[in-house]
Amino acid sequence: MGRANSLSIQAVDPAAHPSFVGEVSGVDLTQPLTPDEAAAIEAGMDDYGVLVFHEQRFTDEQQVAFSRNFGEIEHAVGSNVTKLSERRLGTDIADISNLDQNNQLFARDDRRRMFNLGNQLWHSDSSFRAISAKFSLLSARQIPSSGGNTEFADMRAAYDALDDATKAEIEDLVTEHSLLYSRGLLGFSDFTEEERVMFTPVRHRLVRTHSVTGRKSLFLSSHAGSILGWPVPEARAFLRDLVEHATQPKFRHAHAWRQWDLVMWDNRQTMHRARRYPETTEVRDMRRTTVAGTHPTVEQAQAA
């Protein structure tokens, strides 16, 4: 029936961002993809950095199966303070909801909720891992009546807009990322010894080069708390400055969710953040699969 021919991708906001955030139509992601469809979506990710699909009524298993088209699934443990015994979902799925293991809303001062509020800071998923994430795929199963947008920022455009002196200065800088740092920014610092070990800082290049397009991007994240060889206050002031630059409205897009949207983003080329919503009174059930990265960015120094 020519299914493969009906997939098309259009910029969501062509006037503001001709090559950032595409909307895909003509494909049912709950069913196995043809190789052409999978290749078209991967190419769309390389071009747009973020892809939006509507009306994808996934089960968890279907979402995992679709995600596998793009690489290995990242194990969704070690990224928060929720105990294994308190998980609501399987370990292939990151639980981005405000629900506990019994499908009850978290209390306002629940430690797990307070930790998860870190998603409201600009970040790249799993940049606190030595091998950080390639793609994230977020499925909206239930959405609140207001708030809860997800915002994206284009780290390629942000890099391109830097002046030449700054580009030269940052070219080979290496940063350290940790959940201890991003949560510390929100005043969350009562970590257990086990959590401190689990969240040991990892190193990443500040500038990365996309393996297919060759485009450079700023690899920033709320988890980044130091620059190797720099005094900490100077590093943090500079990183804050870069984040401010990179998240200007002109590099940014807000996604307003509809139920059953699937939004997929490339963590190597974008940052994102959640926005507030009435979290203690309304359910927001979002489920994320994550495609693992393939190598540490610090090796890209030689490769690039």
Token pair 């997800």: residue:
150
d(CA 301, CA 87) in angstroms, rounded, equals 38
> How far is residue 282's CA from residue 255's CA, in Å, rounded to a whole number?
19
Among 23, 37, 100, 125, binds Mn ion (CB under 5 A): 125
- Chain residues 233-272 in contact with Mn ion, contact rule CB under 5 A: none
CB of 229 to ligand OGA, least distance (A): 30
Residue 123 CB, shortest distance to Mn ion, in Å, is 6
Nearer to ligand OGA, 118 or 225 (CB): 118
Sort strands 22-25 and 50-53 into parallel, antiparallel or unpaired. parallel
Whichever of 40 and 143 has its CB closer to ligand OGA, that residue is 143
Decide: residue 197, CB within 10 A, 0-12 exposed, 13-18 middle, 19+ buried. exposed
**Considering the rule CB under 5 A, would residue 74 count as an interface residue with Mn ion?**
no
| Binding partner at 138 among Mn ion, ligand OGA, none, C-beta below 5 to 8 Å by kind | ligand OGA
Tell me whether residue 123 or residue 215 sits nearer to Mn ion (CB atom): 123
The DSSP bridge pattern shows strands 133-142 and 224-227 to be unpaired
In whole angstroms, the minimum distance from the beta carbon of 167 to ligand OGA comes to: 28
**Which C-beta is closer to ligand OGA: that of 44 or that of 148?**
148
Whole-angstrom CA distances from 195 to 54, 94, 186 are: 37, 18, 17
**Token couple for 114:** 């307070």
Nearest approach in angstroms of CB 119 to ligand OGA is: 4
How many C-beta atoms lie closer than 10 Å to residue 268's C-beta? 25
> Bridge-partner residues for 290, per DSSP?
136
Nearest-CB residue for ligand OGA: 274
Residues of this chain that bind ligand OGA (CB under 6 A)? 96, 119, 125, 136, 138, 150, 272, 274, 286, 288
**Positions that interact with Mn ion (CB under 5 A):** 125
